Amino acid sequence: MMENNTFNPLLDKDIGMIENETTRKIALCALEAARESLSRNEKKPSDFVSNRLNSQLTKIVKGKA
Amino acid sequence: MRLHSLFMNNFRQYIGENTIDFAGNTTEPNVTLIWGPNGYGKTGVFRAIMFCLYGDLVLEQDGFPDSDSTAELILVNEKLLERNIGSRVTATVKLIFEHTGSIFELERNVSALMGADGEDPVQEPGRVILRETDLNGNAKSPLEEPDEIEERISRILNRRVRDFFLFDGERMEKLTRYGDDQRKEIQRGIKSLLQIDALEIAIQGLKKQERYLTQMIRATASGELELVSEKLQKVNDDIAILEEELNINIDEVQRMNHREREIDQILEKVKGLEVKQEIRKKLKEEIDQIKSDQEKNKQDLQGLLELGGTYIASPVVVELKTDLDGKISRGELPTDVRETFIDHLLYTGNCICERCLENGSPERDALVRYKQQKIQPGMEAAYQLASKLTALAANSGELSNKYDSEITRYQNLKQKEEESEKELEKLNEELKDLPEATQYGVELERIRSDRKEIEDKITEQKLLLENKKEERTALEEKENALSQKDEISKKYSAQREEVAKAFSALSQIQGRYEKNVIDELSEVATQIFKKLADGNTQKSLARINVKNGFKLDICNG
């Protein structure tokens, strides 16, 4: 997991306050993937996020289906 | 991160071992200034830091395009390479710094070889090692894998934001220019620092994943579900387009409102200056009147000067008159016999006593002799002038008073003229940049008419969007109901539902977060800029607004 940048504590706090656990986990997963894509200087960062979500969704949404 | 020291060996123009100890490890001083003429290695120091931390072989100012991943500069000292043709020469940079109480020692090498054929040197990255000693003095295992080191450094100072903490004078100069490129650069910096860009990418990624899941549902389903999914996709696309158009229009109305306020302020200023314009007009009239009075005063003074000239000559004339008076009293001159009277008697040939004065008569001869002896040329004129001067002398006090009065008048007019001119000049300066009210009036009219049109469009778009959203809800319900029947689709549907919720949650956070940050950022940016600006800029700077996706906009008062 990438270390959270502390310039925006409000942002992480806001996401941490999402009540629904599944929604919160997906939002965090997307944000972490986005940070990683920027750090890696990915050419298509949103594709990177989508792929990461795709690999994590089954685990996160387990039991929902 | 606090830099302690930088060691360079054979790096760029630094031959041999060179160490810079940075200030700040004790309480004072806490700033290290590196300065010198061009080409003396200031950028070399910066280059060494960037190479050591990130392995950068080029800097932004080297001018290589971002896309050119093969771009590099020879970092090994070129004189040494020329002296050691055919042998590999190594350059080393070691940076010691502190971060959150730990001490880091990062060492990176690069080597190059110059062939005997005179071709450009070939450069190769060398060993890199990161040693860390924690707050309690415990040394951790050194990292030697470039990827691990990159990740560790990235956690200390992310590559994306490093350019806003580590930069040299050239970049500072570039950033302080006020142009669109600089605004975009600052926009990018703000977004990176606050991780707004990460949030945006996360939202885009969620949207992409939602679309992907929709496709999967469609691919695994058939018949009616497929049709419903297609319709839903279309409605979703329509909504996205509509929302985008709506946002553009809302932004445009906001821009127009902002411009309207600006123009109102300008017009208010113009109105405030109308009184001054009137004063200026009156002042100009007053100055014209003063000039006319001055002309009159000049003429009056000229008249007085002529009289005065005569008066100045009076002692000579008075002396002449005294002489005449003496002659008259001695009987040398008749008191009242004039040359014209004698000429008249001689011409008519008759005296007033009716005696004949014919030629050869003793009376006529006596009269001719008298004229020749007593009446001398100029005496008559002198006498008349002296009489006038006597009268003038009697009035000399009055003349002097008039003269004084005209002089005083002249001085008063002169003073009044100077004061009025000064006042006019001041007013002219104040009214110099007075904007043309008509021009703004026309723009205001146009803004109001255009805004009305856009607002009507917004109302229409909102209505359409509402309908589309209702349609979407109905289709989603139908699609969910249909997909329940299909196990695989059911799985994708559940995932899509959760992704859509996360998308909505992050979008809301983005809106809320941006609003808070923008207000605070505007305030802080204004305060900081006012501190940095010179006197004139401080006076004219009203506020720095953060808008249009984190671009800074400077508003002058």
Average pLDDT over residues B291-296: 89
Nearest to A65 among B195, B202, B491 (CB): B491
Average pLDDT over residues B80-95: 93
Q: Tell me whether residues A26 and B158 touch, CB distance under 8 A.
A: no
Nearest to A39 among B159, B193, B204 (CB): B159
pLDDT digits (tens, 9 = 90+) for B138-177: 999 999 999 899 888 988 887 777 877 777 777 776 666 6
* Residue A35: partners with Cβ closer than 8 Å, 6 or more residues away: A2, A4, A5, B195, B198
Lowest pLDDT segment from B57-61, B308-312, B409-413, B458-462: B308-312
Nearest to A7 among B195, B491, B499 (CB): B195
Q: pTM of the predicted model, to two decimals? A: 0.49
Average pLDDT over residues B57-71: 74
Average pLDDT over residues B58-79: 79
Provide the pLDDT for residue B193.
78
Question: Which residue would you say has higher pLDDT here, B340 or B74?
Answer: B74
Lowest pLDDT segment from B4-13, B87-96, B507-516: B507-516
Question: Which residue would you say has higher pLDDT here, B249 or B167?
Answer: B249
Chains A–B, number of C-beta pairs less than 8 Å apart: 125
pLDDT digits (tens, 9 = 90+) for B339-365: 777 788 888 887 777 777 778 888 788
Q: Tell me whether residues B499 and A53 touch, CB distance under 8 A.
A: yes
Task: List chain B residues with CB under 8 Å of A64.
Answer: 494-495, 498
- For the complex shown, is ipTM > 0.85? yes
Provide the pLDDT for residue A38.
85
For B517, which DSSP code? H
Give phi and psi for B99, each to the nearest 5: -150, 130
Average pLDDT over residues B281-293: 89
Nearest CA in chain A to B487: A65
Lowest pLDDT segment from B178-192, B208-222, B384-398: B384-398
Q: Is B492 exposed, middle or buried (0-12, 13-18, 19+ CB in 10 A)?
A: buried
Provide the pLDDT for residue A42.
86
CA distance B122 to B398: 109
Provide the pLDDT for residue B218.
76
pLDDT digits (tens, 9 = 90+) for B445-454: 888 889 999 9
Task: List chain A residues with CB under 8 Å of B507.
Answer: none
User: Of B112-121, B252-261, B354-363, where does the model show the most confidence?
Assistant: B252-261
Interface test with B, best of A48, A49, A55, A60 (most B CBs within 10 A): A49
Kindly calculate the radius of gyration of chain B based on its CA atoms and give it in whole angstroms.
Answer: 52
Task: List chain B residues with CB under 8 Å of A60.
Answer: 498
CA dihedral A28, A29, A35, A39 (to 10 degrees): 150
Q: Is B499 an interface residue toward A (CB < 8 Å)?
A: yes
Task: List chain B residues with CB under 8 Å of A44.
Answer: none
Interface test with B, best of A4, A8, A59 (most B CBs within 10 A): A8
Task: Please say whether the beta carbons of B110 and B126 come within 8 A.
Answer: yes
Task: Please say whether the beta carbons of B93 and B106 come within 8 A.
Answer: no
pLDDT at B430 over 50: yes
Interface test with A, best of B195, B214, B513 (most A CBs within 10 A): B195
Return the percentage of chain B with pLDDT > 70, whole number. 84
Average pLDDT over residues B490-515: 88
Half-sphere exposure (Cβ direction) of B468: Cα atoms closer than 13 Å: 19
Nearest to A38 among B155, B197, B493 (CB): B197
Q: Tell me whether residues A27 and B502 touch, CB distance under 8 A.
A: yes
Interface test with B, best of A36, A39, A40, A58 (most B CBs within 10 A): A39
Average pLDDT over residues B76-82: 91
CA distance B94 to B110: 12
